[in-house]
Structure 1
Amino acid sequence: MTTASLDPGAVLDKTDPGADTQARFSYQHCFAALQCLRLLSGQLEAVYCENHEDILLRKPGGTYDALQVKTRRFDLEPFKATDDAVKNSIGRFAKLESAYPARFDNFHFITNHGFWGEKENGNNLAYIRAQICERGNLDGLTKAHLLKKFVSGLCGEHGCDEAHVVAAMLKLFLLGQQTDLERPYKDLRENVGDVRDYRRTQTFHTLTRVADNLIYLCQQASSCVLGGSVADLYSLVMDFDAQRDALLLAGKTITADRVEEVIRQSLVEGADNLLVSSGGVSADALPPGFDVMVEKLEHGGLQMARVDSLKDFKKSMETLYVKWVHRYGLDEANRRLQHLKTLVRDDCVEAQLSVEQPGQKYASAMYTALRQMLEDRLRTSTLPVFDCAREHLLGTAGILTEECTVWWSDRFDLKAVR
């Protein structure tokens, strides 16, 4: 016999770290967005997200800075030189120093927390760095010496040689912000206000919108999203893999032009819920294949133009959801999305029942019926839709289709989930 007290689906897990995990990713994306603002002044030529390092900065002249961004709860100790996160980061920096000689000016280890410094010993990363910088090398040190042991340990664990580890340490900068995970977001919004005197000419709400959209830009660049369309993969090139890699790199690269476009769109009146294109395609879906939504729509006979529109609407709704997460928190964003999914699912069911013909393709008629129902809902319903347009609600229908909650034809075995 099942009781509510024994049903995990009926009990809220208050220890679930989901919201905390989201905040930690947001910290890194906010930090990347702050670097993107430096593109506008010419301090940087490009910002790369999750390419070689968490953040890679290309400077005029073609040299780079590499940034590792780490978060840690304040009930834990500050970072020590012996922590795996620290050793792994320095090991990565040393490998970059080896692979790309003279191309890196600085390596940065950045954290919301701090660095242990109670004693001048092997746990004190700042002390070890300072000692290496003072000496310039490890010549003449015995194997038992603190610096020699630290560097030798890194060499053994990460397959680096001493010269490259020392070179990386000489270029290492430590930034312990000693602040909560929300600090970079607040700093980003403040810095957006300093761009072209926007603090004086734009509203607080608009500056928040610009910050949210810059964060989303960095989030997308951190994903395996192609910097182009699927069609670009099938241009007449000899090397498909090389073309795919080039598009992936383009997706990870943020330039001043991309930042300017984000700002331009964000400043438009009523831009809070701007619709976006689904042009960024997850690389995991390629080479070719159907995602669940597209496969179901095509099976139901929906015209390709409408399929493409629904993909864009779905992407717009997902973008709006990300903005809600950054602005209101994960719980409120989930509450809003679940509310809209409940409303739209009801309309999807009614639209399907009104047109379905077993054994026949009826997705086109269902799309027309659903669009009209959503228009009627926006015009007459008293239930909140959080300033969403009809297109956002259609995008919610797309999300429900992906989740296999909504069908546009008789049910069938999906290729996309095999």
Structure 2
Amino acid sequence: MVDASGGATRAERPATATGPDGSTHAIFRLAPGEDSGSDTLGRYRYQAEVAARDCLAMLTQDAIDFIVCEWHEDFVVAFTDGSVELVSVKHREENQGTWTLVKLCKSGGLTHLFDRWCACECAANVRLRLATNAAMSPAKDNADLLTRMCGPGPEITDGLSAMVDTIARQLLKVRWEEPYDNVPETPKVPLADIQIPAGFADKVRQFLTVLEISCDPPQRAYITDVNIQSLLVPAVEQLQLAHVDTEATYRNIVDRIERANRDESDRGQLAAYIADPSRVRYSTQMQQRIGRRSITRDVLRAEMAYASAQLAAFPRGPVPLVAPGGAKLNRKLLRGLVPSDEAAFAERLRSAWYATWSERRSGLAGDDTDLLNLSTDVLEVVFECKRHARSQTQDGSAYGSTMNDLLTQRLKVGGLSTPPPFLVKNQHLLGLAYQLCDECLFYFSENFDADGEAS
């Protein structure tokens, strides 16, 4: 959501996200507040582009697990260690000047962040980030000083107590005009006369230790180009993805984030999920809602757009890689009466797959899952071809050659149920199929002992 000043005000991994104790994290058991500014499309786009910065970082950083759009804050970054970061986005036009302490508390999102942090029971594994394109006021004892006093290892600690007192009074003043459940209500008096409730200043001091104020996001006019050149292009190069259309891919990712922001069949309030961490009870409706708003690595991979350039069977290199093994594949093709020249070509395609996978795999933890999903899709086509080949031959007759012909006809990239993790061609899918055969996941004949039979 976005407020009238151009910033975002509210936000929403599946409900399996856990804290260090293994329980579902409190933030994912709390319903979000009511949306209020979703019609401001230009500002919504900026919010999505700021979220895209963390999404693109997720492509190459194992520490980030997934991102949930518009849950409490504009988005939440969930980390593999069980911690989460609530991020509030605040865009400020260049003619509006710098942020002051007063403006940060009133319209800059600090009060909102404080309230939502309290709603998460001030949990030790929740941290906060205010992301804005505007600078902080450098005036004495103002916003720039606050920024340098935030975080677990603040740059400046002298005068911290006075700053805590100032922020506490500003939060209490904001409470006079806006209802925040976790900011106590006090009488309307001059700022200096506000009586700070017992324990409130200590909570504000703790709040500052988990807060980061970031001025990294670029201006709205430049954020697209900056994100593509400084984040997406390096990620594509690091992942060794070939023929990626970076501009189209970036548009796809931002559009996907915007759909996650808007994907709500019920715009009303949901019941709060406040459960004992030792006795968590899940809501299927809430799990589904979170799932619709989640951005994962698989989602990002699916949004990759590729140019139509012809892909070579073997990646460029001084010496093409030759796949290890192959004896079992040779024996199975021989038993299935596949002609020797076709068997030799099958071995070449297996090496083409091996070389391509070795070069283009990301090197991250998700590679094994990517390969498992792709192998499952390939095996589904393999067994369809095997059943068809069997049905076309007489009992006891060899069907391997027919099966191999069917594989060549039917195993196509466009026929897969899910897109491959990187650009491949039909020859690579055949190579993967032959590799799976060499691993004894299927045969070109009835099963036999491929280890005990000589080639």
TM bin (shorter chain): 0.3 to 0.5
TM-score by length of 2: 0.44
| Higher relative contact order, chain-length normalized (CA < 8 Å, sep 6+) | 2
TM-score by length of 1: 0.48
Could you say which structure has the larger radius of gyration? 2
